[in-house]
Structure 1
Amino acid sequence: MDAQRWQRLSPLLDALLELQEPARSEHLATLRAEDPALADELQRLLTLDADQAEFLLTPIVQIAGSLIPGARLGPYRLERLLGEGGMGQVWLAARADGLYERRVALKLLRPGLADHTLRQRFDRERAILARLAHPFIARLFDAGIDQNDQPYLALEYVEGEPITSYCQSHSLDIPARLDLFRQVCDAVSHAHANLIVHRDLKPSNILVTSSGQVRLLDFGIAKLIDATPARTEQTRTGVRAFTLHYAAPEQIRGEPVTTMTDVYSLGVVLFELLTGGKPYRLNRQTDAAWEEAIVSGEPIRPSQAAAQAAPETTRPYPPARLARALAGDLDNIVLKAIAKCPESRYSSVEALSLDLLRYLRGQPVSARGERFGYRLRKYLQRHRWGLAATASVLLVLLAALGIVTWQAQRALAEAARAQAMQRYVAELFQDAGSAGATPIDLRRLLALGIVRGEHSLARQPLARAELYGVVAQLRLGLGDYREAADLLQRQARLLAALPDAPTGLQLQAATLRGQTQQQLGDPAACVATMQPRYALAHQEEPRLPLPVAAFFNQLGRCRHALGDTTTAQRLYARALDLRQRQQDETGVAETTLDQANLLADTGHTADALATLQRGLARLRQAAGPQHPLAIELLRSSCALERQLDALDAALRDCRSALALAQRLHGSNHRASIDAQRQLAAVLLDQGRLSEAEELFVNATAWLQARLDPHHPDLARAYNSLAIAAWERGETDRALQLQRQAVAGWQRTGTPLQQAAGLFNLAMILHDAGRDRDALAPAQQALVLRQSQRGALSPLGDSQRLLGEILTGLDQPHAAAPLLAAAVRNTEAGYGPRHSHTRRAQIALARLQALNGMPDAPLRLQRLGLPADDNLEQRKAAWLARAYAAEQACTTTPQQARLSLDAILAEMQLALPEGGVVPRTVARLRQRCGAPVKP
């Protein structure tokens, strides 16, 4: 077949292959009526495809200049084909001329095509994209023609999924879907402002990236409004340049398109985004049936479509609930956007977006039903002059009277509340002074304040609700979480009976309740409390930015605690944006801390530490070095530095955090207790076991007095005590404490905390020589860590421990692949020079030495060379040297015993209180034989 003939057949064959019967037969019959020979040839190709599925894999015609991966096109090297149609191809390509590095989506005409109209369309797309510069539109980076006269466009390569698929896979609620859709409206509005109509808006041309931002693609058939009209791009025997299901009636009829054509397509996309389906119900899925429905059919309401939809397409709502949510405003908005007559639609994309914003804010929308409103408008037109004058006077009088009355009522209420609060404060301190010479402490004063407030403010429920919130916040600061929860429960009952309570108070109350529930170890209850207020918070962003930011931040913490890192990241980003706009430096530092914790939990430890250090520097510059939030930033920095083997830096930051907490809050405060526990962990790593254990015991006693027995923070305290006891050689006590930690985390902890508890339990059992008992918890920890994407470092640690246990159980064939994977994952997660990476390399080399691999003992000796003066690195080096001596014990026992004695002497100087590594080396020395005589 000649190339020219194939160029005509290829796009028609592509279109037919995409159709289902009977639509394919109907389209083929239309072609046969105009060109029987063409239709017969297409029929033969379809028959071949049905009989031999592989025939299209071999080119029917070899077109000159065909492209393959690795080929050069201008300054770009092709990597792989992303997609193609009858007329064009899109390749993933990389800059190959050395000027700079960038991966792009390279769009080009199918090699060998010489159609002048297609070349004109390609040139027009380049001109259109050159006009556009918007964050939600895929950017044009470059354009040109290569040496073979092949034009190309280098576009931004977008890794994402269609907007409808993204919303389904992430189970987004209606406000989140509308937020995404309004991003699309912003992009299309930008195109319209540049006199460009897209003409092919559909979900596959609207991708959403992993960060939750849309990218509008494919301006291949877009139209420049100010350009000279091109000849028609569709014939009866041709292929449509637009997608039928999203086409406007005027496109079907071949009439001129305008910006309101894009409004219609956006309306169809919005319908599908909200309901999971299309706005028409057809008996036959054919092109003709679709054209008839679009031109003259009556679309169904979104609420009706939702009620009839399958439950899997309406997530996260059941169909009946979604139908109720869509009924009314959203029904009217969508139907106005897809009106048959362009003049009946929204006048612009901005108008559609503004109506959606009004809906999100709980304001009236412009897309109201026409029946009553239409009759009313007609009546007003007939009597417009007389009614206008009368209505104007009445409106002015009523508005003035309403404003005066409202202001007077509000002023009286505020005055009454202020007087009541003044009396309350005066009476409170009178009662405190009447207690005699005995000083009254803060907790007694707060309890007395509640009793007095309930008496003095009995007729002021709003003032009493505010009082409960203030005292609950003070209780939280003292660590009295149960008392705070009781006060906030009373506040919630009061606010439920006050429908006109200020919005700011409602949001603050929900935020405090969520914070308290999280502190009590119940993030699920926190989400259940706060999520119903999400729409209210979203609505109040412009008026109450700081309370809304605090709300989003706390909801993000609870989502993070439940493992929903994607939603947490989105909530933190919104809180940070609001706080930066208001120049709330303390709030910015708080959200920065939460973002760093999220990064650390997803395996990005170095990035998390850099984020914390930037946040601490910014806080100190804005608020000075004594701000209370600096305690948490320093403590989190200490934890991350400890993970990165930087023990000296970790010790410095932990000591600074503890000193600042004690200076600002005293020793009996939660901030001081947490800083003590963090410092104890660093001291434990440095071998200062007695100091560490004393701090751990104090912190645990404080937490036991205030938290539920199964609280995850108390489980963490038991875990710390268990590791301290294990380092001291108290195996039975360590196992008892570790099992308490595992039980607590399995009831209320996250999967990562559960994995950490099981890992430590298996580690203690393995060190005690109980490898059969250690096997099950080690396997469970590995499974849990495998389920947490992105955290390679703890995954590698679990693989190493399980490999060591299998080595102890004499199962080398099962241990070897685990230890090899541990080396790869610890190196990828921690870095090649980290002590955990070295421990994995040592475990693998030891197994290979036990199996008789000749070069394994030499690798153990090399791993025993000190990398630096870091204590964790030295511990790993001592182990490597000890395992090398273990291998030499059978061939040169006296030299091996001398080597082990030298290692024990070195460790005695560095770790005078002993520890796990000295015990391990001592056991190897004991197995190697009698002491060497001088």
Structure 2
Amino acid sequence: MEAVRWQQLSRLLDQMLELPAAQRELRLAQLRAADPDLAGQVQRLLAQERASEEFLAQPLWTAAPQDSRVGSVVGPYRLLRALGEGGMGEVWLAERADGLYQRQVALKLLRSGYADPGLRQRFSREREILARLEHPHLAQLLDAGVDQQGQPYLALAYVEGEPITAYCQRLQLPLERRLQLMRQVCAVVSHAHANLVVHRDLKPSNILVTAQGEVKLLDFGIAKLLDDDTAQGSLLHPPADVRAFTLHYAAPEQVRGEPVTTLTDVYSLGVVLFEVVTGRKPYRLRRDSDAEWERAVQEAEVPRASAAVLRADGPAAAPDAATRRLARRLRGDLDIVLRKALEKPPAQRYASVEALSQDLQRFLEGRTIQARPQHSLYRLRCYIGRHRWGVALGALAVLALAALAAVALWQMQQARREVARAQAMQDFTVGLFDRAAGVRHGSFDMRQLLATGQQRGEAELADQPLALAELEGVIGRLRIGMGDYQLALQTLDHQRALLEQVGQVPPALQLEAVTQRGRALRMLGRSRDCVAHMAPMQALAGRQQGALPGLVAQYQAQLGRCQQALGYRSDARAAFALALALRRDLAHDLPGTAESLADLAALDSDDGRPQAALAAYRQALQLLQGRAAEYRPQRIALHRQLGQALAAHGDLVGAGQALHSAWADAERLYGPDHPETVTIQRLRGVLALQRGELAQAGTMLHQVHQRTRQALGEQHRDTGSSWHALGRLALQRGDSHQAVADFQRAVAIWRQPDCIGLLPQGLYDYGNALAQQGRWQEALAALHEGRQWQAAQRGDRDPAVQQADRRIAEVDKAYREAQPAPF
């Protein structure tokens, strides 16, 4: 029977079986008048249907039960278990039985009813053709032949995987990953086309995805083997012209029985792509029958994928947020890509599978697709979508630059050049606000600018959580630089929540985010929380040392400062040393190198090595020599730390000069209320106290105390330092009662877990003040507790611990001498 005649008969039979008996007889009469021969064939088939409810339920050829074939041998292979069955044959898991080598294969057995005398020759030719196909995403043909019993077989590499549609649905893969898998499919099909082989039966069950996420394409050459154009009318085609393709994924020309080309595979790939991205087939049928499928493939218009996703649950069901988001992604370019791949006339489809793959890649990169007219507005929209984060940051930078005018001119030029690179824009904007944080005059309100920029970003980038997270990180970092630590932490908490939603986050952004949030926690006196937050990222930082040395160095430096505040001195030193080594390898990172030298110097100073600390501070300042304006924030911090070290070493003149330089620069850059300026002013007040200038010290320290409490709150470690300084002032004035009260407040704050490193000195001074009042037992208790804390942190042989032992002995002796003599 000819293929066209069978297709006509199949459609008529489907229609007749759905009609009631009376209408069926009427339709037969009409058909008998028009084509008696066709009517007779339909009537005979209907008679067979009435005789048995299982008409056509069984295949035309019935093999022996599968279980009975387990262990049998086909050619050199032993059958292990059935993997699947189709209309043309079976697929078995088999192993080599002749002992030549050990390997499991997928063995395809063609049913003997389809063999003809020339089958051996065609098998040999097909094997030669398929042997040319060698691709990482192809299940490789290993062997082909006909055994002694006339059983044709094909042996292919056995692939353990699941159909691409099932794999995508089970893992709920994002759209980008689904398209990347389809590009792997396109690559292997394009390779086959280049070797003059057409697949002809592309469908999800022939496209498996392994556990490693790699595509493997099966069944290359089967359709070609069963539909040899040179054997028309031979025994190769049994009666009824059994199809060598799957109707649901067939191209219109296949259904019509027309010649098949590479464009047929383009159409089938379009159907698979539609199902992969939407989860459903492209056609909605009025009834489920082969005739209706043939009509849809040849005549029905393919719906837009974006619309098909929204109506998946029926017109009355409201799609959820994820479905609406997917529909937005599909609308536009992907709808056009799918429509072009599924065009009915082959000439209107993509010219090749490679062209389809290239448009998918362009979509993934945010570039214009070739299937769409290249209007200027369309190209502009793609560019903005590809660089939305850079454009958003560029707008924020332009607002700031307009206010800063000439001071920030070079930064504006840099922003315009780097508008397409989001990370470069971040660095630029952070640098801009770091240097502009001291502006306090005119109508320029930096905090309002940041708040407005954050609101706009959250509104415009709501559907791009990764871009919004980067913007939140920039704003949080700027707020730290301005001293708004609590607001900065809130912003960075929001960034953290966004990154948890994204899933896969670039390592650079992960390190930057965790470093800045740790910095904010440390500034708020929450060093324990800082270590708990940052420590889990050490493995990532270790892996990225070669690729991101600058960011890893920043991470290690910040982690080390939090560890140092908690008394973890050896851990802090290791982190600082690693940061210094990474930064020294970066020749341009002078500020970072100076920062790491200062971090290690602070540890040396605490460990009783003042000369090493002073040398490191001076080396760090020397690195920044000659570029004071550019490195002003680093120079302020270095002069402050140098002043502290000089004061501890007894060089009060040098300490005064260094602290005065730091305070003058901080006043100009940050203003009087910034936490850095307040800290420097407190150190200057303590230095005046050491010099005996009590009036000047009192003015400074009371002013600092007000500003510290206002900026950082009552429980911050710096507020404790302020109470401690006032206690020392009262003690030198001879007011031991006030000194006890002030020291007591400082000790209460420093008892918090994050401030334990400061507690011993507070207890020592508190004990000394109590001793001056004659409260000997309370004094000894405070001194003993301070000694216990310091010994736990530094060991019994530490000079500070031994000095505490001497002081305890002195107070104990004075206590005994103050006791009345016994009568």
TM-score, L = length of structure 2? 0.49
Structure with bigger gyration radius: 2
Determine which structure has greater relative contact order: mean sequence separation of CA pairs < 8 Å that are 6+ residues apart, divided by chain length: 2
